[in-house]
Structure 1
């Protein structure tokens, strides 16, 4: 009898970001209801966002640099203001650095592969103030976590095949866009919650299509969009 080995999947940047939002929301609820004073704890909330940015750097193996660094920079400035080490007007004067960072993301994109291909069964992509494009070519594709925060994320699945139908993709677009490119014959089910945003399957309709669902796309779009294309 063979021994089955299992690999531990590290938490994604999307999972950590969602956990941070939940934690901050709980602290705000305790404060607004008067149950517990959380002023001192909330003043350290930016450090958690810094940690998410650092994790995004590490998880991408420092291939996605500009976006996480911008996130770290903004959260660090927010932390300095929250602790009283700097005033808002002292921090705001550095906003042109965001323009420089955007330019760097464009320049760096010209010197590296436009689309990173992978044959992993699961794909994770996190884009903040920039763009990430990935192609999955696995013949045992299981799913993906895609996050676009003031940026764009694209996942190309035209060469992928689901291990078991349906495969599942969780997409979050906040002030950005997530695009999922699938084979023309895939039956895709959209279960995305749009909050002042949009979710659409932009492929042309076909008269004949098999009933079995190949891919389920879940998540939400806030001031952004999640789209399926071919």
Structure 2
């Protein structure tokens, strides 16, 4: 129990990303209003985004790969350009690496689902240019890998129960949406990395009837969204 509670106190990648955006806004405001010159500090802003990506990898125990890798790659390239170690043309030619990273994340998700699932305890769903709806009724649900590309994926967990807490769902939404329906009494920790996307727990606020986290949702949302409902 102590381990679970201490883990909840760690800052999530969403919190760090939000704090970083606020910091960048403050630096820009100081610069544009002439209160203080922040040009030198702004040069190193991409490195802060690299740190957010690294933290997201560590926080998810390297189960959430594609989002952090994309953020690290783009921010790292931006830092090289900002410091004049490379030009835009030199770094742009490496953009297919991001496509490779995305493909690897899909393959790893399928591999994890086959290794971890001895029955229906683990769910894997992939939707591209369409929609997929799945329901898990396992009495020992352990987790899921959900991917939506120009489409939608929905996972209904209202009829599941947990033997070990927390279960973990990794969700990737790229120009699409991932919806996770959970029992009302579950305590859900949302740690999705949004880049021009969104992640939200849309359930009405209510007091939890127990301590600890039942479900951890990690992942990546770009031009799409990940939502938790009941």
Give the TM-score category using the shorter length.
0.5 to 0.7
What is aligned with 1:101? Answer: 101
More helix by share: 2
Query: What TM-score results when the alignment is normalised by the length of structure 2?
Result: 0.58
Q: Give SS of 1:105's match.
A: helix
- The CA RMSD measured in Å over matched residues stands at 4.6
Evaluate the alpha carbon distance shift between residue 23 and residue 148 of structure 1 in structure 2; reply closer, same or farther with a 3 A threshold.
Answer: farther
Query: What TM-score results when the alignment is normalised by the length of structure 1?
Result: 0.58
Measured against aligned partners, the alpha-carbon deviations of 1:25-55 in whole angstroms (never above 9, x if no partner) come to 0000001101111011000001110110110
Please tell me whether residue 74 in structure 1 is matched to residue 99 in structure 2. no
What is aligned with 2:215? Answer: none
What is aligned with 1:25? Answer: 25
Measured against aligned partners, the alpha-carbon deviations of 1:177-196 in whole angstroms (never above 9, x if no partner) come to 6587x9xxxxx449xxxxxx
CA drift at 1:154: 4.7
- Runs (4+) off by over 2 Å: 4-8, 113-119, 133-139, 146-156, 167-180, 221-230
Q: 1: distance between equivalents of 2:123 and 2:42?
A: 39
What is aligned with 2:84? Answer: 84
Q: 2: distance between equivalents of 1:70 and 1:41?
A: 23
Q: What are the ranges of 5 or more consecutive residues in structure 1 without an aligned counterpart? A: 120-126, 183-187, 191-211, 215-220
Please tell me whether residue 10 in structure 1 is matched to residue 34 in structure 2. no
Evaluate the alpha carbon distance shift between residue 137 and residue 40 of structure 1 in structure 2; reply closer, same or farther with a 3 A threshold.
Answer: farther
What is aligned with 1:37? Answer: 37
Q: Does the 8 A contact of 1:149 with 1:175 survive in 2? A: no
Q: 2: distance between equivalents of 1:24 and 1:115?
A: 39
CA drift at 1:76: 0.6
Aligned length: 177
Q: Report 1:1-230 matches (<5 A).
A: 7-8=5-6, 9-113=9-113, 115=123, 117=141, 150=174, 154-158=179-183, 161-162=185-186, 174-176=195-197, 178=199, 188-189=203-204, 224-225=224-225
Q: 2: distance between equivalents of 1:80 and 1:71?
A: 14
Q: Does the 8 A contact of 1:149 with 1:173 survive in 2? A: no
Q: Give SS of 1:101's match.
A: helix
Q: Does the 8 A contact of 2:67 with 2:193 survive in 1? A: no
Evaluate the alpha carbon distance shift between residue 17 and residue 177 of structure 1 in structure 2; reply closer, same or farther with a 3 A threshold.
Answer: closer
What is aligned with 2:216? Answer: none
Evaluate the alpha carbon distance shift between residue 169 and residue 62 of structure 1 in structure 2; reply closer, same or farther with a 3 A threshold.
Answer: closer
